Amino acid sequence: MVRVKNRYIVVQIVPEVDAGKISFNDSVLSRCVMKNVGKYYGEFGIGSTEYGFRVKYCNDKTRIAVIRVRHRPHRFVTSILPLICVIGDHKAKFRTLYTGATIMQCNKFIVKHQRDVLDKTIGTIDSAKERSDFLKNIMEFSVD
């Protein structure tokens, strides 16, 4: 038996206009990526990537998503991600942050990346009261 190898691509969704509450779900992202794979690589690209293709994680707040693709066809997906300009109904782009072999490594990268973003954000806040309020708001995050 041959083991099927996967690659996990961590992407950040960057909207052209920051309109506040823009929601992206996994089905919209997967349709967008597969449509563009078909546009640039045709039936061969679709046939090789659709088996094993899945959006494993999508977060609206941080705008980070994890895409799972098989080992060889991951090149098709990573090559078209910078070319995508419209995701669903919104003008947005994908920024590839990391490509890994396991989802655990991607999880470690996402935690490190979010910690770095949080440190940069806290570094720009001048007063100690605003910092403590910012941290309290982050710690009291609730999923609706």
Domain residue extents for the chain: 6-102
Express each pLDDT in 28-48 by its tens digit: 999 999 999 999 999 999 999
Task: Identify the segments of the chain with pLDDT beneath 70.
Answer: 19-21, 137-144
What's the pLDDT at 141?
45
Give residue for tokens 């992407």: 11
- Work out the angle at residue 47's Cα, subtended by the Cα atoms of residues 45 and 49, and round it to the nearest 5 degrees: 65
CATH assignment, 6-102:
3.30.70.3250
What's the pLDDT at 139?
62
Q: Using an 8 Å Cβ cutoff, are 116 and 28 in contact?
A: no
Which letter does DSSP use for residue 53 in this model? -
